[in-house]
Structure formats: C-alpha cells, structure tokens
Amino acid sequence: MAKLSILLYPDPRLHTVAAPVAQVNDEIRQLIKDMAQAMYAAPGVGLAATQVDRHLRIIVVDTSPAHDNLLAFINPELVQTSGDAELEEGCLSVPGIYEKLKRAQKIRVRALNAEGEPFEHEAEGLQAVCIQHEMDHLDGKVFVEKLSRLKQTRILAKLKKRERESE
Ligand code: GNR
Ligand code: NI
C-alpha cells in the first residue's frame, strides 16, 4: 500500500477542484484504502482525496469513537440540509489550528459506494460537519478560508512563524 502524504495549507494544490470519478474500479478502491490508512494514521476523522494530491471526488469519514465505522463517498452531493451547527473544526492540512464555523446540523448525501452503486446517507452533528468539511476540500476550499480576513491573516502569520522556528 502506498503511504500517502497530506498537503499542508497554504499549498496551492489544495485549491484544485476535484473531477468526478467516471468509473469505480480497483484503482479507485485502492485509493480509498490508502486514504483510510492515511486518515487513521494521522489521526483524523475525515480525509478528502484533494489533501493527498489526488484530484478526484472521493472522501472518507469515520467519526465513530472506536474508529470502526469507515464511510467512503464517491462523487458526493448534498441533497438536503437542515438546522445550524457551530463546531470547532480542525484540518489535517492546517495542523494545530482550531476555529468555529457555521454548518448545517443535519444533511442528506447522495454518492456512489466502493462498488459504484448509488446510495444516500443521513448524518448529523460531528459527522455532518465533517462531511461538509470534506466536500469543501473537493471544491478546493480549506476551512480557514471561510473565516474573516483578519483571522486568516493571523493564521497565515502563525503558520509562517512556526515554519521559521522549525528550520
Ligand atoms: O480530523 C479532522 N477533524 C475535524 C474536526 C472537526 C471538523 C472537521 C474535521 S475534519 C479533520 C480531518 C480533515 O482535515 N479533513 O479534511
Ligand atoms: Ni480538512
């Protein structure tokens, strides 16, 4: 299995809009396995293909306490959203930065599974927030870019300072 490395903000490749998966085949299934491995190793509760520099519309999510409920969504689409959630979010591509964002509390997602079959999934709370966070990655958006300009400037300064100090 290929060990995938995770792109770090502000890497411009994180702004790539991912292309739909045309055919779910063994290559896609292998990518999903590698993404799951990278997510669990990090550790994180979700990962988008964008973050491992594979610009296809694939996300994996596991918000279960025992890390035993892997969900994979290929070409995910939100078909329904309701309510408001405001949760502190983090991102494997922006390590050490946690900020609150407003999201839908409950969502219904339509996607293909690893067999290429369409399915729908309802999520709420952390799982719903995580799926929305991952779907943003597929559109080239990193969560910090939804914050105010001031907060983004401060986060970029913090990341640069950290980079300087690690040299
Ligand atoms: O590991 C992660 N935790 C998290 C916490 C709150 C809201 C979203 C997330 S997703 C993040 C992993 C990640 O960067 N996915 O893109
Ligand atoms: Ni993220």
Write the CATH number of the domain with boundaries 12-166.
Answer: 3.90.45.10
Q: For ligand 1, pick from 130, 131, 145 the residue to mutate: most ligand atoms within 8 Å of CB.
A: 130
- Closest Cα to atom 11, ligand 1: which residue? 91
pLDDT of 3 reads: 82
86 catalytic residue (yes or no): no
Residuewise pLDDT in 10s, the chain (167 residues) = 578 999 999 999 999 999 999 999 999 999 999 999 999 999 999 999 999 999 999 999 999 999 999 999 999 999 999 999 999 999 999 999 999 999 999 999 999 999 999 999 999 999 999 999 999 999 999 999 999 999 999 999 999 999 899 87
- Residues with Cβ within 8 Å of residue 4, at least 6 apart in sequence: 34, 35, 37, 38, 52, 54
* Residue ranges per structural domain of the chain: 12-166
- Closest Cα to atom 6, ligand 1: which residue? 89
Ligand 1 lining (C-beta closer than 6 Å): 44-48, 51, 87, 89-93, 129-130, 133-134, 137
Contact 61, 40 (CB under 8 A): no
pLDDT of 6 reads: 97
